[in-house]
Chain A
Amino acid sequence: MRSFNQLTPAAKPTNKKWIGGIAALSVVSIAGGFGVNAWLNPSTGVAGVSGDVVAPQTVTGDSIDYRYGSIQLEVTATAGKIDSIKEVRATASQGYEAAFPLLNEAALAAQSTDFANLSGATYSSEAYKEALANTLSKLK
């Protein structure tokens, strides 16, 4: 069994943008039968076969890797019927950055705002002087 690796490169917990993909993935998973058996028929007992009152049962699936990261779902079922599917963890690793055009757009939109200080990798006093001279040369 594979367990979720906390150190997945650039992994990011639950990101709304992936909900569509996650939903699609869970449909595919269910259709394909990956792990669904494990979710609905855990070794601790089979839902819906004993007793008069059937209690809902919640199980957590294995973490499954997909193209952009990994996903792990939690399913609550009563008598073998799915009540709810919840994402325990959904991450996107490879290509995750590209999924953030909004981040780039927001950064770009903020670019022209006036500011008092510039943060950058520690500049040397020489670099500072050159930058200052360069700036001053643009004054009319």
Chain B
Amino acid sequence: MTAFDHAEQCMGTVFRFAGRTELGEVETGVYIEQACAILHEADRTFSLYKPESPLSQLSRGEISVAKCPPVVSDIWDDCEIWEKATDGWFSPFTPQHTFDPSGIVKTWAAKRAAEHLLDRGITDFTLNAGGDVWLSDDLSVARDWRIGISKTVSIASAEAGVLTVIDLAGTEFRAMATSGSAERGAHIWNPKAAGKTAANELLQVSVVARDLVTADIWATAAFAEGRRAVSHLNSIEGIEALFVLANGELAATDGFAALFAK
């Protein structure tokens, strides 16, 4: 058996693949490298920090979507679907009307990287995409099913710590994403009020879902929506959420309390 724990820097954050497999060490290493290549490829295409990326060129109006790699059009379509599903609270269009799918690219790419490992027969691992966590179906270690939720401070700060811990073993959920301003300041814009940052009523939102992108989108949308997201997310099938309100108190959807680790 090969145990692995690989951290890859990409998209300005860290992706961590950790688990076990019956495959040999060399083979496992090759597959993880390929999974990381998927992440880097997405970064090359979608990064708005890289002036030469297709998305940067699109954003400057130098090329059309048709001239971009086909994945750009795929992501564009996905974003439009999510914008409708979230009643507009997730939007890839910036207040300046440019297309910025950053809110979806990280977990979209992570999902593909994880699927690559599954396809190669690695089925007992977790993937932490810079704070958004995905679990495979065949986790053999109880600890892997448990996910800590960070306090609403940066993980690098002296007060860093764990707010709470959830356990997804025996549930339908395989992913958790958290949105907040603790790490990168106010980076989520309010799609419903041009020029304004997200309604500053929530400190953090953590969403569990079957799928990593779903969890990520709803966490982003809920953070932008503010306190009303508590009832909004409660009405959405297939997700549960924990909210940290501006006063530090917690709120949650009906089914969330059942997920706390025992």
Contacts and interface: CB of A to CB of B under 8 A. Distances in A.
Interface string B173-191: 0001111111110000000
B136 to A, nearest CB: 12
A100 B250 contact: yes
A104 B184 contact: no
A121 interface: yes
Nearest to B151: A120
Contacts of B181: 121
A130 interface: yes
Given A122-B130, A122-B184, A115 B148 contact: yes
A124 B148 contact: no
A9 to B, nearest CB: 5
Nearest to B161: A111
B260 A7 contact: no
A120 B180 contact: yes
B250 A107 contact: yes
Contacts, number: 177
Which of A96, A107, A111, A120: most chain B CB closer than 10 A? A120
A119 B180 CA distance: 11
B232 to A, nearest CB: 8
A96 B183 CA distance: 28
A84 interface: no
A100 B162 contact: no
Contact of A117 (B147, B227, B262): B147
Interface in B203-247: 204, 206, 227-228, 230-232, 234, 242, 245, 247
Contacts of A102: 257
B237 to A, nearest CB: 14
Interface string B46-65: 00000000000000000000
Interface of B: 7, 9, 12-14, 16, 18, 106, 126, 128, 130-133, 141, 143-150, 154-156, 160, 162-167, 176-184, 204, 206, 227-228, 230-232, 234, 242, 245, 247, 249-252, 254, 256-257, 260-262
